[in-house]
Amino acid sequence: DMCVKWAGKMLNIHHSFLPSFAGAKPYQQAYDRGVKLIGATCHYVTEELDEGPIIEQEVMRISHSDDVNDMMRKGKRCEVMALASGIRYHLEQRVVICEHKTVVFD
């Protein structure tokens, strides 16, 4: 009920490993697989967990010298940046939801 009532008004943030590394310890899973890019996604909340229309995404390159803690620190920075931009775009009314996508105006 809450998702329906607040549709297009609630934002969520998560690491961009979904759906590849869902579940427990996604950064450890990503490290174990040797990923080269990490990031975060800011999206509107829907009844389906982490499936809402995407507003903003941030990515950051990592290297073989980064350990899991480095990846988590860089991932959190991506989350902060994506969420801050997503909130700003939403508050400035620059986002239009079109079916399962968004249009974000410059």
* Cα–Cα nearest to 16, from 80, 75, 69: 75
Helix (H, G, I), strand (E, B) or coil at 44: strand
100, amino acid identity:
H
* Cα–Cα nearest to 75, from 28, 19, 20, 33: 28
For the annotated catalytic residues, the residue numbers are 50
1, amino acid identity:
D
Q: Where are the alpha helices (DSSP H) in 1-106?
A: 2-5, 26-33, 68-91
